[in-house]
Structure 1
């Protein structure tokens, strides 16, 4: 295990035909106003952004912001980039695909923009780990999610239980719950992605100190005897993940995500191996549930615990937009503390701006210290090439328990992908 902790540190009108909507991209409106095309990927944020745009336009009558929200945003943004039709202002989910786009040099460099100084450095570190163009700041983190162990605070209080700070304490907690007839974890494996939150939450500790940089450097030589490999670094991480799933409800392998969230919502399990996004379906079943989150307590020293967090929405702009001043004005408005506070609260997310107030939601309040102290780190599956069937491998492992087989498959798939293409990070 690599032990050194690091400080990694929308109702509005949607343009139905995006091609038509983009036809006037970066053009001045007939009224003499500047039109900004706002590419927005998050469907559930459509209303929130429409409200922000209306308020911004009221304060900036010389600018029209046209929000274009589409379902398959990752495919469409690549198409627009290839056609040299990059939108003025862009929101994306900060994942591995975003990192590749950033490396391509199509996004603006915010290094010298004052707005950068208002953002939690740990959030920007997560973006930088995904990819940049020659070390530039190519995007600004807007709101973050959180991945950890969700727990029912009422059950903990009724049973006199404390939040565990070490792995041994977590296992002891699970044993205590079992002894008292309480299911420790509501989990599911019917959909393969539900295996990933815990893999990310535990595995993050084993992927520190440049693990994925070493993996990229090794390329098609990853494996036995190489400087880095899944087989060498991840056996304990996989075994610990499997250990937690053993404390699940009966029939969890065939249970769906909705099954697990309903189980937790109804108080039939004390915890969930999920992220903050799971609280929406949980509260749809039980609006009054009192739930909070703690990070996976993997390190021996509780002070070394980190919260795995992803930049759920990141904001950037076209490097060559003809409306740089107007685009920056809109972005600066987005990052006003009062604006981002309201957006983050609506989305149950953590705002990136350090001066912004966090929602009083108990789940958000429980993770605030990790953001305040920049003890956050990114989702490690974002570092794994999409051609590698990671989610399927992890799901299968949780079915059969074959640690060596799972890790050997991951290393073999990494070698195959590396042999087909050299990534920009390998060339640097």
Structure 2
């Protein structure tokens, strides 16, 4: 466990100071949060915040739960793992706190759709969005200009652009299949746009018998389009990892990169002068159907049973203030989740920002798939083999197994 060097334990003589355990999951943001904590402590001398960063946050938080040591304040990626903990009522209800009213409703909806505690009085707000990301396509504007290619707004235009680059000896996409998860961003954009409304609600309602909806029935187009995109990768894409991809794209080794805003700081770390711009996935031939897949990269929660609720809330209130959210957004190339937020001026985000500001966003569909299903490994196999039918059939099978186990567990508790 890593503790920020400025956050040493309080003097025992100062027994008026409350110590807050701050579980912070992003190692790349340690310095940013340390600076924010220094500012908060200067304004709140009766509170001392200890920033704790761990290498495997998902495992670490579950270990703490087993030991009944839920941190006072937490940052978490608002994903399926968060949702499981929220539904288990691990986190406090923040719906009546002042910052909740400042959040963009479209962003809070993404959090609530994943799941929350409901003890009979309705769904709670168990996390406040602090920073949002956006999954689009990153591109090199200089390479586009040199090859006379305009930003595509339809699926056919995207394929035509990729073919032009390939014909001109330029890698259309730099792909990194040594890290299986890197196939997921394309899938969540393709599947999220093309799937029927209410797909996952209907799928969960079917249990283990997938009669009305299924991945095989409803995700065939998305799977085939994923395979098509990956047919434009560089030759060695199966042996390249994410770090190699960031370095290569930053060096101008491809026209496009199938990663979102979260990759921008990592790319700039390899080349501060990297040419980076962005556009939303054109999944269909209707330009008006374009949306941006967005997730809450950092959500703020408070432990439900913290003995320091008032102090924890003061810290969360500080973090959710517009100036702090904006400062973090600019430092980490994220989007502010607040209403009427000043758009992030980072030119790399300019192609995605209008969609986020206007609420034309959808959540990450992989957050709807149980962690026990090896989705990223299955996607890796999909793009390496091109066998979309096997991928979809296997995904249906894995979903049915989880649904059957879940139903059995529920019967056992009744």
TM-score (norm 1): 0.88
| 1:270 maps to 2:255 | yes
* Aligned partners of 1:90 and 1:315 also within 8 Å: yes
**Structure-1 separation of matches of 2:408 and 2:265:** 37
Query: Among residues 212, 215, 221, which one is paired with 1:227 in the alignment?
Result: 212
Residue 296 of structure 1 is matched in structure 2 by 281
| 1:181 maps to 2:169 | yes
* Aligned partners of 1:15 and 1:69 also within 8 Å: no
Query: Among residues 111, 131, 137, which one is paired with 1:143 in the alignment?
Result: 131
Residue 314 of structure 2 is matched in structure 1 by 329
**Structure-2 separation of matches of 1:378 and 1:424:** 28
**Structure-2 separation of matches of 1:250 and 1:78:** 40
* Aligned partners of 1:337 and 1:357 also within 8 Å: no
| 1:164 maps to 2:152 | yes
Query: Among residues 254, 264, 267, which one is paired with 1:282 in the alignment?
Result: 267
Secondary structure of the 1:421 match is helix
Residue 361 of structure 1 is matched in structure 2 by 346
* Alignment RMSD: 2.5
**Structure-2 separation of matches of 1:189 and 1:332:** 41
| 1:100 maps to 2:84 | yes
Superposition pairs for residues 27-426 of structure 1, below 5 Å? Answer: 30-134=14-118, 135-222=123-210, 226-422=211-407
Bigger shift: residues 65-74 or 391-400: 65-74
**Structure-1 separation of matches of 2:313 and 2:245:** 43
CA offset digits 1:288-346 (Å, max 9, x no partner): 12211111111333222111112111001022323222211111100111111111222
Change over 3 Å in CA distance of 1:244–1:423 after alignment to 2 = farther
**Structure-2 separation of matches of 1:425 and 1:157:** 58
* Aligned-pair CA distance for 1:365: 2.6
Secondary structure of the 2:74 match is strand
Secondary structure of the 2:136 match is strand
* Aligned partners of 1:215 and 1:228 also within 8 Å: yes
Residue 5 of structure 2 is matched in structure 1 by 13
**Structure-1 separation of matches of 2:77 and 2:152:** 31
* Aligned-pair CA distance for 1:98: 0.3
CA offset digits 1:135-193 (Å, max 9, x no partner): 11111011112211111011222333221111111112222223333221111212211
* Aligned-pair CA distance for 1:14: 8.3
* Aligned-pair CA distance for 1:396: 0.8
* Aligned partners of 2:280 and 2:351 also within 8 Å: no
Change over 3 Å in CA distance of 1:398–1:374 after alignment to 2 = same
CA offset digits 1:16-65 (Å, max 9, x no partner): 9xxxx8xx9xxx98431222221111111111111111111111122222
Q: Which runs of 5+ in 1 are unaligned?
A: 1-9
Secondary structure of the 1:146 match is strand
Bigger shift: residues 154-163 or 269-278: 154-163
* Aligned partners of 1:216 and 1:425 also within 8 Å: no
* Aligned partners of 1:290 and 1:362 also within 8 Å: no
* Aligned partners of 1:86 and 1:318 also within 8 Å: yes
Change over 3 Å in CA distance of 1:345–1:219 after alignment to 2 = same
TM-score (norm 2): 0.91
CA offset digits 1:82-140 (Å, max 9, x no partner): 33332211111111110001111121112222211211212111111211112111110
Bigger shift: residues 363-372 or 230-239: 363-372
Change over 3 Å in CA distance of 1:11–1:47 after alignment to 2 = farther
**Structure-1 separation of matches of 2:401 and 2:86:** 24
